[in-house]
């Protein structure tokens, strides 16, 4: 994750902000068995062969083993190219039933057409990802860094046209989305809460404003930008496990942690730390990534 990356993190305050009061209106207040999922952003990681993947694992087998180590994936490939339905069916066939794919909306929709006149690529995208069936997780829209609140109406109109039963999430990037200082901003947050559209939280060193902590649905997604297992990574992940446990006690239904580490090399270790901390703090079991010798279907 280059977004928000800093070469020097020595002066960064990584503490999580307090919850905004609006979170209390989204969560039911009743404890639930939260669906905790951890994963990375790609399965083609040769560095995992011989450690997380068995020795001599071929690239064609990477998804098979990835999906037995993690329980989810931030599927960025769909952002750059809409896959054919048969490709999606092939991906699904290589994974166990408990694994979920979380595809990113095409950049042709979000970055080039900016949510206007984009019915054709949207239909192609939805046709493809619906082939995941019960293994389709939240599908998320990543806004361009320059997409400001002045364009809120275009985004809301686009979201209104999506299928009501599609779990959609939105990642804001322009700083003005986090100030809460304009009618457009608050209207968007209210709109998302009304429609239970999840607000993605981006936790990176250089954009602490994007750690907004606002829940607009009983689900949340955290895109975590790590620093190659720097000591701060462990403290941050423990903080997230603690906050997830708090939200779970108030009715959070699902929590996805999508791990971004340099070249993804230590993403599994990071996910293990978070999952174990979650179990310790929440007292609830979840799927913990395991190396190939221990990996099993879930």
Q: Residue 131's pLDDT is what? A: 98
Q: Is residue 182 predicted with pLDDT exceeding 90?
A: no
Domains in the chain, please, with CATH?
A: 33-282 (3.20.20.410)
pLDDT tier, 294 (very low <50, low <70, confident <90, very high otherwise) = low
Q: Which of 217, 237, 238 is nearest to 226 (CA)?
A: 237
Q: Which residues, in sequence order, are CB contacts of 111 under 8 Å at separation 6+?
A: 144
Q: Is residue 69 predicted with pLDDT exceeding 60?
A: yes
Q: Is residue 298 predicted with pLDDT exceeding 60?
A: no
Q: Is residue 295 predicted with pLDDT exceeding 90?
A: no
Q: Per residue, what are the HEC states of 32-62?
A: CCCEEEEECCCCCCHHHECCCECCCCCHHHH
Q: Mean pLDDT across the stretch 157-183? A: 94
pTM score: 0.95
Q: Is residue 33 predicted with pLDDT exceeding 50?
A: yes
Q: Is residue 256 predicted with pLDDT exceeding 80?
A: yes
């Amino acid at each position: 994750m280059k977004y928000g990356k800093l070469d020097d993190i020595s002066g960064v305050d990584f503490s999580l902000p307090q919850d905004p009061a609006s979170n209390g209106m989204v969560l039911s207040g009743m404890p639930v068995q939260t669906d905790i999922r951890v994963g990375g952003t790609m399965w083609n990681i040769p560095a995992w062969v011989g450690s997380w993947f068995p020795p001599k694992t071929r690239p064609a087998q990477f998804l098979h083993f990835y999906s037995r180590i993690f329980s989810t994936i931030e599927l960025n490939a769909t952002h750059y190219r809409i896959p054919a339905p048969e490709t999606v069916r092939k991906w699904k066939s290589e994974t166990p039933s408990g694994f979920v794919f979380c595809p990113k909306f095409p950049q042709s929709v979000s970055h080039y057409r900016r949510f206007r006149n984009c019915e054709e690529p949207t239909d192609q995208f939805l046709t493809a990802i619906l082939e995941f069936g019960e293994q389709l997780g939240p599908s998320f829209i990543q806004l361009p860094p320059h997409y400001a609140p002045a364009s809120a109406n275009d985004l809301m109109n686009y979201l209104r046209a999506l299928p009501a039963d599609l779990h959609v999430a939105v990642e804001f990037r322009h700083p003005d989305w986090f100030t809460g200082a304009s009618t457009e901003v608050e209207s968007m947050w209210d709109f998302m809460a009304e429609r239970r559209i999840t607000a993605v939280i981006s936790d990176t060193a250089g954009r602490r404003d994007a750690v907004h902590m606002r829940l607009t649905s009983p689900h949340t997604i955290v895109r975590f930008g790590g620093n190659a297992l720097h000591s701060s990574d462990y403290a941050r992940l423990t903080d997230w496990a603690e906050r997830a446990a708090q939200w779970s006690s108030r009715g959070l239904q699902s929590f996805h942690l999508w791990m971004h580490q340099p070249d993804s090399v230590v993403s599994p270790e990071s996910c293990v730390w978070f999952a174990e901390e979650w179990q310790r703090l929440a007292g609830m079991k979840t799927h913990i990534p395991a190396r190939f010798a221990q990996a099993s279907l879930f």
